[in-house]
A = this chain, B = another copy of it.
Amino acid sequence: MSLIAARLDVSVATVSNALAGKGRVSPDLAARIRAMANDLCYVPGMAGRALRTGRSYVLGLVLPDIANPLFPQIAQAIESSAAEAGYGVLIADSRNNVSTQTEVIGRLLERGVDGVVIVLRRGTRVADVGTPVAVIDSPSTPGNTVSADHWQGGQLVMDHLIGLGHRKILIIGNNPDSIVQNDRIGGMKSRLSNGAESEVIWVEKVEARHGPGCPLGLADYYRAGFTACSAVSDLTALRALTEILGAGISVPENMSVTGFDDLVWSPVVRPSLTTVRMDLAAIARIAVEALTLAIERRAAGDDLPKGPVKAPPHHKESVPMSLVIRQSSARAMTTQRTDNGGYSR
């Protein structure tokens, strides 16, 4: 910048004004400055700007569990929205540990991030920091900024399965403490109709009894007349799918399987997985917008209300999910076989 100023024999202030379009600069001089800047491949140094303005144009993204297969989608969505708003994204991984979570948030703040996006799990509360925070979890979570409408997503699958004629539906959850999973299951149950019934099993509970990686005994449910498995996550659905296939029960002819989140492998397994997808792009956009709004306000002198930022008024706090119908769900068998469901093969 000072180089540009020297070359055109003007003051750096004028250069700054011209490039920022702020002060009073004559149109032609401004044009000459822009030309020269472009000529010299000048890019404003963030360090000086950050120092002067107190803003780094960097957001922190803290994930509770980086092994989470959703991470790529989330990171992609947040990074994209942030980039569009002129922000970079600094990642942090609190290894599902609530104490390291506060620690990594602290590190992000030391780095001078202007705001933080936190993806919660199991409804952890996040302490108040001096910086705007957006929380993505579930509409049921207190202090949630924006998230997918998991309840409605549950309704979506259940409507789909009921519509296909299924009447005995096994719901497979993972962790009973997860607000997200409970929302999804609640939505499912709310749409049981026409005498349809459901049963819920929790993977963590059966693993607590039989060890990690144990079979879920799905063949037994099949023999008991269940014709569909609705899992709260594609990971669980995949586990169910392979177990069912391995038991010689064909999918979707004898048993339908559905999941949640449309993870990478869902389209490629055979049969490809019917699932419910969140609109992470929209969610990220709203979260980032809420955050940047709060940042602007704070820079203007207002002090923030306590707690995570709220979704901007013209946006919904919960984003509808959409059903992705693939091969793993089909019409329920009309002639029900309640005995001899395979398993011996």
A contacts, CB < 8 Å to B: 43-48, 50-51, 54, 56-58, 61, 66-69, 71-73, 75-76, 79-80, 83, 88-93, 107-112, 213, 215, 235, 238-239, 241-243, 245-246, 248, 250-251, 264-265, 267-272, 345
Contacts and interface: CB of A to CB of B under 8 A. Distances in A.
A71 B263 CA distance: 13
A46 B111 contact: yes
A291 B201 CA distance: 48
Of A46, A54, A83, A251, which is in contact with the most chain B CB atoms at under 10 Å from its CB? A46
A58 B111 contact: yes
B91 A272 contact: no
A216 to B, nearest CB: 9
Given A46-B50, A75-B75, 18 more contacts: A47-B47, A47-B51, A47-B112, A58-B90, A66-B76, A67-B72, A67-B73, A71-B72, A71-B75, A75-B93, A88-B107, A213-B272, A215-B270, A238-B265, A239-B270, A242-B245, A243-B270, A265-B265
B239 A269 contact: yes
A contact face: mostly helix, strand, loop, or mixed:
mixed
Nearest to A327: B213
Given A93-B79, A248-B345, A250-B345, A66 B72 contact: yes
Nearest to A83: B107
- Which 4 pairs across A and B sit closest by C-beta, in order of nearness? A245-B245, A47-B50, A47-B51, A242-B269
A90 B89 contact: yes
A89 to B, nearest CB: 5
Contacts of A251: 246
14 contacts: A46-B111, A58-B90, A66-B75, A67-B76, A69-B69, A69-B72, A75-B93, A80-B93, A88-B107, A91-B91, A238-B269, A242-B245, A242-B269, A242-B270
A24 to B, nearest CB: 27
Contact of A246 (B76, B239, B270): B270
Given A46-B112, A69-B72, A75-B71, A235 B264 contact: yes
